[in-house]
A and B are shown apart, each in its own frame.
Chain A
């Protein structure tokens, strides 16, 4: 290791004219002409300043080292600024490197090459199969007595209406060929601790009641309890042709009368004990699927109050099992969806379920009349063909949202306004199908600390990590992520299993995301950082602020919120930034502090488009405008800068969710203070600059230079 700072300067095959470079005794200056292709030897411990072209490019070429980047290509050479400007930019970067703690590499050891799959629906089955086929030890848990999940309850799948067995049976028989697979039904996850590669999971298995079974079915005949299982009648002891191949008792409804115990030629034990175990796994895949929204809450539709009003699943099972022969059916869309009183979001698949039920009726009873009442038909993608086919087959589509369902003269009357004709309609039918939305299994998510957006896991906020990796090591698959159809669920399951496999096949994983660090001695426990963190990564443990390393994305917002400057972002310490600004800003300069995700790219775009701007504009790169402290701005003004421009992403488009809003709040207070101090408040501006908005950047810079 060398205490000196290495300054690597790339002149891009001689296209960058360089002045005489001299940065003092602490530095070693090296000249290169092709840093993007010819990589010099740099050890990970070296402090390095790289002056060359765009940091966005070079960061990808040198991901393993701690480097400060200076863009002398796009910010000087391409736009015709004097070569001497490079001295100031590089000197500033050297000052920052001197006073900045390097970003430390984090290593997670993958101790257990084993995966837990939560949920035994099609997603969980597919994930378990894919993982175990690739040599991973898998434990698959399902909370119900049988595998198969929601699909096992369906009659058919959209769009063609193929029986569910076409899909589910091959998946389940796939599992039979897996060697390293443990299938636990009636099992739930109770507690999780640990980190990627090393989770400790507590499982609880409730008894199935049936211990030895020869599938004779005599128990069904004697069981006195009849249960309505989503539109289909069954007994409290029942069987599903999936896995395991044995009857099971539904203890929620069982009265423990003991009739089945008497007749069973195998063995039934009504008083089996709950079994609790603990296992160690390296990765967890959540495939908990979806739950139907309780449409009883949509009171005007009379579900549970009016006979003949059913959910899609109940209607499908009733028609399929032959207990229902509808003649006139109304399918009501968005029952409780896209409704701020119920589910504010669109569940994506209920439109297709409604079309599937319409097709089911037309297939079984071609003479029946079907009315589909929808606000909008969201038959996305090629599912449009199903919608087209049904119109051709004479299904009537009405546009609108029904106000209520009444009972009149023995039939159900649906009252709605038809927006196609602008007329109020009353349709009398014998069956009403409510196509309601779906909610997620939030219980499992909260146990796993998965951050939710409403009901479902946040997908897009996970900066730079890809949608599957929530906290890295925990993955979601299928409809647990968001309601999805069978085909999409299986594709998603394969993606999730390959993400889990990427983790499990390594011995250790390393990341170099900068992390926020809290100096305990300086911290006053004011708790302001807890509320400001967009990732809820900060909490109080044992009267100390603790930052969860897996959740922290390195935005630096907390470091600016902290009133005692106890929180600092690795690689972006306040001290380092102060030194950088001191070295960078001369009298009359305009300091542009640019967000690395948007505005900084706009400055590079200006050079690529050969647009020039004032030579006094000096550009600084920050991870987020939310990490710009008012003290940085004041320091620049005190050094004689004529203005400070902070450029960030447009509202709502912040890479770290809300850093730019924090910055806006700080900017307005700062401008107010400037006015109180008798200074021109327009010397400080925060502007939204998109990544290609070079013109806007130049316009603002010119305005500020006037």
Chain B
């Protein structure tokens, strides 16, 4: 498939979630309010305690902004990933396999949620309003947000692919997804060494906020190299796992399909 086709798929995916503009606007604005309410906890925390071993509201706002942006892009552009385990368990995967196109982009762009726009808008607001980010940094923030969204999409894709082997995974994917936002918005020094390793590898919540902050706030060169590498690794892993899983896929003829 050509890039143009991907963009067309992406566009039509978003358009499908905009069928009712009123609902789209309500859902986006409610997600914005939802994030703001969650962020209020940190505002009141720093108002009461000043700082957290050198971490201030600015740093937490940066982490929060980046995780919101990444999750926002993921939900708006690639929410179809979150349905993959259901497709596998119910046999709906057939309809993606019986097309001339590669099934992975079709699955990824098979769903979009308006709430993602609320996340993106809140991420940008938090970046400019609380994290002392400049207007000039916005293009970089958006590019890094997209890269992190790719990591989330690939990691979630891998998780859903486990349904090829164990159907019970289908019920727990949303819990894991929710933990992404929760665990990515905390400062990394509170995690133990083992925790940090986990968050940077198997459970990449650390990659979607800490690494971008290392690039944008601390201007670390290693982080600039590490982020695209992580994207590449996760995408390759997702693609490999899907191909391995497809060999076990037999649910097309199941009675509940």
Q: Do A and B bind each other?
A: no
Task: Spell out A's residues near B (CB within 8 Å).
Answer: none
